[in-house]
Structure 1
Amino acid sequence: MDITEDDGPDDDVARSAARHQQDRVLDTSALRALAHPLRVRMYDILSQYGPQTSSSLAARLGESSGSMSYHLRALAKHDLIREVPGRGTVRERWWERPPGGITLGPAEAVGTPAGRAAAQLVTHEVMRNRTQQLTDFLNTGLHEEEEAWRDAALVSTATTRMTPAQTALLRGRIMALIDDAVDTYRHQTGEDVRPVTIRADIFPLPELGGDT
């Protein structure tokens, strides 16, 4: 990202918003193709760890290579994943997730009972996987990771009071920071380089009722 001396936080927010306007909106058929617990996990692995084969996915997930091949083809049919150009053989195909974000579906897709059920399943599985990763880190990573990784990690929750407009601005600023980190380090390799998950949860809490 090129930054000029005239750029400020709001410019970063505008760039991030324009970027995410290009995110793919899943139609009903793609949403339903993804709405399978195992496929969501496969999609997550491709997102977090990069290209995989059916064999490597099978080893990670404890499934057969044949089962992985079936689900990979189902995801590829709806362009949720693609073969890695120039890599692999007829017997060993490599798959990757195309760059860019996704949105679970337009209003007409999630407005139907089938579309809503598919979106709920995908959302549930994504959050279940993310929560399990966080739980695993808290249970083992805080004690077993090297000190440098323990010191670099952050698990934090805070609460404040804001309007919808203020919340949207905060969301935009956080997304701009995340986008910059992803663009800068996405393809980095080398010693001590590992996949790092970045979580950002922003949502209003329900009112308790009575005086607040």
Structure 2
Amino acid sequence: MTENTQIRTLDSGALKALAHPLRVRIFDLLASQGPQTASSLAALVGETSGSTSYHLRALAAHDLIREVEGRGTARERWWERPKGRIDMPGPDDTMSPASRAAAQIVTSEFFRLRHETLMAYLNRPQSQEPEEWRDVGMTATTHLDMTAAQVMELREEVEAFLESAIARFRGQTGPDVRRVSLRTDIFDLPKIGTRQTSPEEGS
């Protein structure tokens, strides 16, 4: 596994440090938009640079972000999210009440931002985009009937594909390059009654 695909599971301290809507937003922006300063982040989130600077220091204290080496000054520091994947534990019964509350905040805010970004993409006027970018994205939902072992096998295949894409494309620069969000979800749906087989599915 390369540096880009190393997975860090957040401990309770890092999870609690991240458990603030503005910190989740800042963390997400550093991932999606690249390195930023307190001032540039303040303009993006509608806060003062003093506020974003405070939250940046809190995130850095738990190694969630870091200063960009060789860039910036004592007055204007640049921050980035380290390379690698982050595993953010969702709330569960094994956590302390404080950790569970932190996990709930982080999970809810990340998925709220994820949905907000998706809706912004879906509602983006095509006329405002260069022609070569108008039809490259896709959204899809497919429902399958699988065993737990089959789901795990499919998950491993998806993870292998993601690692390959990261190795091929991360860090590219150039006038035709845009940051792209690649999203995957695999999860079982709750059972509600008994699902009936439709005629077209066969016996």
Give me the identity figure in percent: 53
Which one scores higher on RCO, CA 8 angstroms, separation ≥ 6? 1
Counterpart residue number, 1:40: 24
User: 1:96 aligned to 76, 80, 84, which one?
Assistant: 80
Counterpart residue number, 1:183: 167
CA shift, 1:168, in A, is 1.2
Contact 1:27 1:106 in 2 (8 A): no
CA shift, 1:51, in A, is 0.9
Residues of 2 paired with 1:185 and 1:109: CA distance?
38
User: 2:132 aligned to 142, 148, 155, which one?
Assistant: 148
Counterpart of 2:76 in structure 1: which amino acid? E
CA gap of 1:141–1:112, structure 2 versus 1, over 3 A, is: farther
1:203 and 2:187 correspond: yes
**SS state at 2:107 partner:** helix
Counterpart of 1:121 in structure 2: which amino acid? I
Moved more, 136-145 or 92-101: 136-145
Contact 2:21 2:109 in 1 (8 A): yes
CA gap of 1:153–1:110, structure 2 versus 1, over 3 A, is: farther
CA shift, 1:44, in A, is 0.5
Residues of 2 paired with 1:179 and 1:121: CA distance?
28
Over 6 Å off, 4+ runs? 106-109
Residues of 1 paired with 2:42 and 2:85: CA distance?
25
CA shift, 1:207, in A, is 1.2
Contact 2:91 2:103 in 1 (8 A): no
Residues of 1 paired with 2:63 and 2:77: CA distance?
16
CA gap of 1:211–1:188, structure 2 versus 1, over 3 A, is: closer
**SS state at 2:69 partner:** strand
Deviations 1:24-45 (A, max 9, x none): 1211111000010000010001
User: 2:152 aligned to 152, 168, 171, which one?
Assistant: 168
CA shift, 1:143, in A, is 5.1
Residues of 2 paired with 1:179 and 1:58: CA distance?
33
1:128 and 2:112 correspond: yes
Counterpart residue number, 1:59: 43
CA shift, 1:173, in A, is 1.3
CA gap of 1:69–1:110, structure 2 versus 1, over 3 A, is: farther
Residues of 1 paired with 2:104 and 2:50: CA distance?
27
Q: Which has the higher helix share?
A: 1
Residues of 1 paired with 2:59 and 2:151: CA distance?
34
Q: Aligned-pair RMSD on alpha carbons? A: 2.2
Counterpart residue number, 2:201: none
TM-score, normalized by length of structure 1? 0.85
User: 2:10 aligned to 14, 21, 26, which one?
Assistant: 26
Residues of 2 paired with 1:67 and 1:109: CA distance?
33
Counterpart residue number, 1:8: none
CA shift, 1:178, in A, is 1.7
Identify unmatched segments of 5+ residues in structure 2. 197-203
